[in-house]
Structure 1
Amino acid sequence: MRPVPPSGPASHAPGGSKSSDADRAGAPRGALRSRGGLLLLEAAVAFAAALLLPLLARGFKLNPLNRIAQVSGLAAIQLRFALVGLLFIGAVVLAMRLRGGRHFDLATRLAAAALAGLASGFVAAGAVVALLGTPWPMFGLNGDSGRIVEWAHAVANGQPSGSPVYPPMPLYTLGHYAEWFRGGNTAYAFKDLQILGAAAFGPLVYLAWRMLLSPVRALAFGVVPAFALIDSYKPYSQTVLVLLIPVLVAMVVALRRSGTQGWRPLLLTGAGFGAVLGVLFLTYSGWFLWSAAGVLFAALLYFPWKTGRLKGAAFMGSALAAFLVVAGRYLMVMLKEGQTTKDYNFRFDNFTDPAYYLMWRTDMPGKVGDWPPPGEFGGVGLFALVTFVCLGVAIWLGLRKPLVVTIAAMFISAWVMRMYIASHMYETQTVQLYTRTNNQLLYCGLILCALVAHLVSLKLAERRTASGATGAIGSAEGAPPATAGDGSSAPAAVRTGFPGREGAVIGTLCALLLLLGTVSSSMSDRYMPAQDGTYRILPWVSHTIRQQDGKCPKFAPKHECSKDGDQSWLSYIR
């Protein structure tokens, strides 16, 4: 699962890495000379950056229920986000100019990791602002929040949770965190984990995509699409989705290569993937159901039937064994209890066109109007048309690449499952959460669209190689020599003076800084407290619940509060 030495076209493009010799020359001596040391440094920078903005936001002096204060708070976070991000980009510029650019690649790595952390830290800081003055998590003890708090308290005290099929990892994590840091108060602890979970989103996604792509490519093609799904209310479910896809793709790539690997690394790699998938399954299992058929197809397609069937079977066996060790007990519960668990709660999206998945308006959509929004072409909007075109182009250019084929297969798998469940909805009068496939369809589609740029750059590099360019071109991180980062062949070339490479990296980082800052601000704003029938009601309720010491939260409307808080949200649920 560790990235391997770069060599191929991807590093030649923005965010790519130089040859392994150049990496070693540019990195500090000692531990940082190794790839593992560099990845640990990237991880440390990403997580530190993710915590910076939430910590700064704790000192803001404003009333989070006042709209002017909310706007000021978002602007204050944006200012700090931009300044810190520009510092990292400035370091890349300095690295380009100093000592012949020896540390340019290292500075690029750290800047990409920092931007991933800063972006999710922005959303976490928005949650800090939204909950200033109240110790309660979003929604207090109402709805899903209340059930999670109650069940976590039960499991922390050795009792069964209220639902045997609910993923146990969030409950145990919350229960133990509350015991360690909140004196057993799982309600107040859940607020902390909502903020910390949102902050960890960016670094985790970035590190997952680093198994496949170089730093800036991981940021642009993996992290940026994921921010359409970031959530500070229940951050763990969306985090599992955006991690599951790159992990499964990396596993298919490793399976394809397993026929030529040594036995020890093969078994260790398989077990590593199985253990990671087990932890993700314990955290949120729904995405596994939507993805299963597509991943099975990709695994059969890329199984080393000719080069090493026994080794391929051993790889899958070690992965399965590790998965069962980690999550086998919960899997048995799901297979037994999940068959009788029915979802009869019809939501807003269950009454809309099932073919529309490009935006989810949540269970409390507020004033909706015409939905889905009318489009210019047969009711389909420009965004959908561009998405579908890019999907086709990605499959066209990447038909032989497991990176593209596996994601496309997961997209198709989720689509088929969605339509299958929805087609039986009238007969069974159950919905089985089929609208949650919106998120997987959107994320897979956005990734494939982003990968068009990746694939086009590979084609351009191939043409440059064919025309006799000189100088070594590096591949996407995570690929062995002479591959393109997803297990496909790519030509080797040389790299004397690739025109504008440094400028392309710096320009890309600047563009991603602005894009991520804008997206993060929007995703933060949707959780600013308000009584408008949307998810903004969740933090609003948190400010209207009486604290455990009997006092009202600091900014309670009219200084009034109650045991359960404002219950007007019930009118928004059909």
Structure 2
Amino acid sequence: MTVSTEGPASVRPHDPPVPSPAPAAADAPAPRRALRSRGALLLLEAAVAFAAALVLPLLARGFKLDPLNRIAQVSGLAALQLRFALLGLVLVAAVVLAMRLRRGRHFDLAARLASAGLAGLAAGFVAAGAVVSLLGTPWPMFGLNGDSGRIVEWAHAVADGRPSGSPVYPPLPLYTLGYYAEWFHGGNTAYAFKDLQILGAAAFGPLVYLAWRLLLSPVRALAFGVVPAFALIDAYKPYSQTVLVLLVPVLVAMVVSLRRSGTEGWRPLLLKGAGFGALLGVLFLTYSGWFLWSAGGVFFAALLYFPWKTGPLKGAAFMGAALGAFLVVAGRYLAVMLTEGQTTKDYNFRFDNFTDPAYYLMWRTDMPGKVGDWPPPGEYGGVGLFALVTFVCLGAAIWLGLRKPMVVTIAAMFLSAWVMRMYIASHMYETQTVQLYTRTNNQLLYCGLILCALVAHLVSLRLAERRSAGAGGADPAAASAPRPAAGLPGREGAVIGTLCALLLLLGTVSSSMADRYMPAQDGTYRILPYVSHTIRQQDGECPRFAPKGECSKDGDQTWLTYVR
């Protein structure tokens, strides 16, 4: 199920034809035709992405270092960066070779697989950082403390057929952890959670890449979908952020399909609607909070792009199929949220609840460490350059893509989260509750970064149109010739240059996000893996690298002094 916001797939300007004509599909052998089908190519991309995501975590298991030593941590990050760079350069080299061999016949395939591979490698880098930070201890980050401890306890309960400690907590992570523990760890949900923290971080890149492939071609999905998402990758509770970065492209793709539903056949229409509904149901069962922040914007976009003139009955059928499938998958949990969720109050005031509510560009977590002035003072009325750039890009994206549902839907989701944030914060003093409104930070940042990336996307589409016009003119034969317009770079060079730039960018970002969880007793989230090294194992022994060889039942508890 692949859709595009730029017109029919056969004429998408961001997915140009192969430079040299391939043999006609009817003349190709059956296995070759199967490999060229869209579904088979997407499956191949998925296989490459997930395989690439596991390479660095597997290699990191063999590192010989003390994860609590800062020099060892830096050496480990450098070792991961070296392997990431070498593997990434192999992917780029494959694209270069494909350009040179057989007149570039396999260039598109190589670029497709390289994009998927880079998405997987980058997420694998962060997962490998988690492997390094937890070397020598079987416990997950934070052991049995805080959210980690509650998740471990609730997952053990649901695996035993008992209710969890919170009926409103998303059930799918608990059931997944419970059954995974039964299959691989003899029912030990604590030790199993360590595996799922690492595997969840590794799956982040491939999943977000495949979600954006619903809308964009491979290189563009990597550049304009995966790169913004890496500001949010998390190895502690990876499923919550993964749902956010998947929900945005899935909802946009659903709005695009709704817009086209008026002219589609009944069978594909109903299948697409049911597919979107089932997928949204799975995401809702995994983490439901993002649905609340997004609901207003998506409702507006759905009304705007509903096929009122071309086929309102088909549009209603599409939405009905989506709603029916959603209720089949997540209806029971939705009923719980609409009843018991209404009485659930969050009275826990955190660090961000005492800061300017208009600042969302960085989340310092519940344990912010040494903060200083916060938000950091900016040059323009207290606003920094990064904020100015994102606001300018938001306006530019709307200007360039006002008629494109992808741009309008993401902008509407941004505004929806902003309104919900201010509404809840404005009632904070009256109700003495916070209702997790600071979690909108992540959605606002992600949507803002996507809109910035979409400015580059839309500008490059305009350049591609100019190149096509300059190459073809009014002559159909000339229009099919792969001649770039004067002054514009060739497509192959643009793809290879983009992959090289993204290799360096993703490698740097992944290293920073991996370093965020290197264990240290410094008042930040680095305390989470540090605690894991101070908890007595179930066999009575201390973890291998426990500080001074000492450990206890609950581990280091100084983190309590960091929570504000």
TM-score interval, smaller chain = over 0.9
Indicate whether 1:507 and 2:500 are aligned.
Answer: no
Indicate whether 1:2 and 2:2 are aligned.
Answer: yes
Indicate whether 1:312 and 2:315 are aligned.
Answer: yes
With normalisation by structure 1, the TM-score equals: 0.94
Please give the secondary structure, in 1, of the residue aligned with 2:235.
Answer: coil
Indicate whether 1:252 and 2:242 are aligned.
Answer: no
Please give the secondary structure, in 1, of the residue aligned with 2:483.
Answer: coil
1:170 to 170, 173, 187: 173
Change (3 A) 1:26 1:146: farther
Indicate whether 1:137 and 2:137 are aligned.
Answer: no
Q: Deviations over 1:514-565 (max 9, x none)?
A: 0000000000000000000000000000000000000000000000000000
Indicate whether 1:86 and 2:72 are aligned.
Answer: no
With normalisation by structure 2, the TM-score equals: 0.95
Please give the secondary structure, in 2, of the residue aligned with 1:338.
Answer: helix
Gaps of 5+ in 1: 474-491
Equivalents in 1 of 2:55, 2:63: separation in Å? Answer: 14
Q: Which amino acid aligns with 2:212?
A: W
Q: Which amino acid aligns with 1:287?
A: W
Equivalents in 2 of 1:256, 1:493: separation in Å? Answer: 30
Equivalents in 1 of 2:18, 2:278: separation in Å? Answer: 29
Q: In the alignment, what sits opposite 1:241?
A: 244
Q: In the alignment, what sits opposite 2:56?
A: 53
Mapping 1:476-495, distance limit 5 Å: 494-495=480-481
Q: In the alignment, what sits opposite 1:485?
A: none
Judge conservation of contact 1:259–1:311 (CA < 8 Å) in 2: yes
Instruction: Say which is worse superposed, 142-151 or 27-36, in terms of deviation.
Output: 27-36
Q: In the alignment, what sits opposite 2:359?
A: 356
Equivalents in 1 of 2:473, 2:19: separation in Å? Answer: 14
Equivalents in 2 of 1:387, 1:5: separation in Å? Answer: 30
Equivalents in 2 of 1:535, 1:463: separation in Å? Answer: 49
Indicate whether 1:390 and 2:393 are aligned.
Answer: yes
Judge conservation of contact 2:233–2:513 (CA < 8 Å) in 1: yes
Q: Deviations over 1:315-347 (max 9, x none)?
A: 000000000000000000000011100000000
Indicate whether 1:569 and 2:520 are aligned.
Answer: no
Shift of 1:573: 1.0
Q: Give the count of matched residue pairs.
A: 553
Change (3 A) 1:517 1:470: farther
Q: In the alignment, what sits opposite 1:436?
A: 439
Indicate whether 1:39 and 2:17 are aligned.
Answer: no
Please give the secondary structure, in 2, of the residue aligned with 1:276.
Answer: helix
Change (3 A) 1:323 1:214: same
Please give the secondary structure, in 2, of the residue aligned with 1:552.
Answer: coil
Q: Deviations over 1:252-274 (max 9, x none)?
A: 00000000000000000000000
Q: CA RMSD in A?
A: 2.0
Equivalents in 1 of 2:438, 2:239: separation in Å? Answer: 18
Please give the secondary structure, in 1, of the residue aligned with 2:544.
Answer: coil
By relative contact order (CA 8 Å, sep 6+), the higher-ranking structure is 1
Indicate whether 1:533 and 2:536 are aligned.
Answer: no
1:518 to 508, 521, 527: 508
Q: In the alignment, what sits opposite 1:487?
A: none
Judge conservation of contact 2:20–2:105 (CA < 8 Å) in 1: no
Judge conservation of contact 2:123–2:202 (CA < 8 Å) in 1: yes
Mapping 1:76-115, distance limit 5 Å: 76-115=79-118
Q: Which amino acid aligns with 1:572?
A: Y
Q: Which amino acid aligns with 1:10?
A: H
Judge conservation of contact 1:471–1:497 (CA < 8 Å) in 2: no
Equivalents in 2 of 1:8, 1:18: separation in Å? Answer: 15
Change (3 A) 1:145 1:20: farther
2:296 to 288, 293, 296: 293
1:11 to 15, 35, 38: 15
Shift of 1:21: 6.2
Please give the secondary structure, in 1, of the residue aligned with 2:277.
Answer: helix
Shift of 1:394: 0.3
Please give the secondary structure, in 2, of the residue aligned with 1:54.
Answer: helix
Judge conservation of contact 1:6–1:19 (CA < 8 Å) in 2: no
Instruction: Say which is worse superposed, 458-467 or 357-366, in terms of deviation.
Output: 458-467
Please give the secondary structure, in 1, of the residue aligned with 2:399.
Answer: helix
Equivalents in 2 of 1:161, 1:495: separation in Å? Answer: 63
Q: Which amino acid aligns with 1:191?
A: K
Please give the secondary structure, in 1, of the residue aligned with 2:338.
Answer: helix
Equivalents in 2 of 1:472, 1:52: separation in Å? Answer: 49
Shift of 1:459: 1.8
Shift of 1:471: 11
Q: In the alignment, what sits opposite 2:535?
A: 545
2:126 to 120, 123, 128: 123
Judge conservation of contact 1:533–1:569 (CA < 8 Å) in 2: yes
Equivalents in 2 of 1:213, 1:23: separation in Å? Answer: 25
Shift of 1:9: 1.6
Q: In the alignment, what sits opposite 1:478?
A: none
Please give the secondary structure, in 1, of the residue aligned with 2:464.
Answer: helix
Q: Which amino acid aligns with 1:217?
A: R
Indicate whether 1:344 and 2:347 are aligned.
Answer: yes
Shift of 1:33: 1.8
Change (3 A) 1:98 1:138: same
Equivalents in 1 of 2:505, 2:151: separation in Å? Answer: 33
Q: In the alignment, what sits opposite 1:209?
A: 212
Equivalents in 2 of 1:152, 1:252: separation in Å? Answer: 35
Please give the secondary structure, in 1, of the residue aligned with 2:535.
Answer: coil
Judge conservation of contact 2:2–2:215 (CA < 8 Å) in 1: no
2:188 to 180, 185, 188: 185
Equivalents in 1 of 2:354, 2:285: separation in Å? Answer: 31
Please give the secondary structure, in 2, of the residue aligned with 1:132.
Answer: coil
Shift of 1:464: 3.7
Q: Deviations over 1:230-249 (max 9, x none)?
A: 00000000000000000000
Please give the secondary structure, in 2, of the residue aligned with 1:145.
Answer: helix
Indicate whether 1:496 and 2:496 are aligned.
Answer: no
